[in-house]
Amino acid sequence: MNASHQLESRFSIQDSVIVLVDHQAGTVSWIRSLPMATVIASCRVLAKMAVTYGIPLVLTTTMEEYVGPTIPEIQEVAADAFAKRFKRGGQLSCWDDPALQSAVKALGRKKLILAGLTTDICLNWAARDAVKLGYQVMVVADACGTMSTLGDEVTYAGLREIGVQVTVVNSAVTELVNNFGTPDGQKAQQIMSDEIISKLGK
């Protein structure tokens, strides 16, 4: 891949959608591959980036009667997206919901910043089906998790093979906002400071 192609393919505030798949009370409790606090903090960073910069934010849930709604830590920073969340039954791919497919298509953006629980089930199928639907997909790995590190490793290896970019939240934020020396960039810096840096060692 040459440098010009890499530049063209960079995710930006103007062309991206952030999709958080099934971060619910039950699914969060199943995480063993990463510290739960890390996953929650990374989700809050993504949600705050969406709200602060006007990036469309899509939340999904599955089988709320069993695993509860979106976790409060996301609800409190993205109340509007929570109110409009896409609730589905037992389908393991969120894209099996026609309403979700239509809503995201209507946004007219082809780049998805994606995270979900668990990595090896709902995130895996969300990413694979998004690629099939023609989206360029970035998965934020520290906003995902599952019951074993092996589950994460195998899933990410498979997703990379189909062209999914696997990254972490610091890299995702700085791809969207690449200059912290501007007033606009300092908003992203503050989000990272509040949600990640200030909590180091605690």
pLDDT in tens, 54-89: 999 999 999 999 999 999 999 999 999 999 999 999
Average pLDDT over residues 160-169: 97
Compute the residue count for the chain. 202
Per residue in 101-154, pLDDT (tens digit) is: 999 999 999 999 999 999 999 999 999 999 999 999 999 999 999 999 999 999
Q: 24 in the Ramachandran plot: left (φ > 0), alpha (ψ -120 to 50) or beta?
A: beta
φ, ψ for residue 15, nearest 5 deg: -120, 10
* Residue 90 CB burial class (10 angstroms; 0-12, 13-18, ≥19): exposed
Q: Is residue 3's pLDDT more than 80?
A: no
Longest CA–CA separation in the chain, Å:
49
pTM exceeds cut of 0.85: yes
Which has the closest alpha carbon to 91: 161, 13, 22? 22
One DSSP character per residue, 4-27 reads: HHHHHT---TTTEEEEEE--BHHH
pLDDT of amino acid 202: 67
| Lowest mean per-residue pLDDT among 32-41, 73-82, 191-200 | 191-200
φ, ψ for residue 98, nearest 5 deg: -60, -30
Q: CA-CA distance, 79 to 75, in Å (whole number)?
A: 5
Q: Is residue 200's pLDDT more than 90?
A: no
Q: Is residue 187's pLDDT more than 80?
A: yes
Q: CA-CA distance, 38 to 108, in Å (whole number)?
A: 31
pLDDT of amino acid 16: 98
Specify the CATH superfamily of domain 19-199.
Isochorismatase-like (3.40.50.850)
Percent of the chain with pLDDT over 90: 93
Confidence of residue 2 (pLDDT cuts 50, 70, 90): very low
Count Cα atoms within 13 angstroms, Cβ side, for 177: 24
Q: Is residue 7's pLDDT more than 50?
A: no
pLDDT of amino acid 8: 52
Q: Is residue 4's pLDDT more than 50?
A: no
Indicate the SS3 state at residue 189. Answer: helix
With b meaning 16 or more CB within 10 Å and e meaning fewer, what string describes 109-147?
Answer: bebbbbbbbbbbbbbbbbbbbbbeeebbbbbbbbbbbbe
Percent of the chain with pLDDT over 70: 96
Q: Domain limits of the chain?
A: 19-199
Tokens encoding 53: 């910069």
Q: Which residues pair with 86 in a beta bridge?
A: 60
Q: Is residue 6's pLDDT more than 60?
A: no
Q: CA-CA distance, 64 to 55, in Å (whole number)?
A: 26
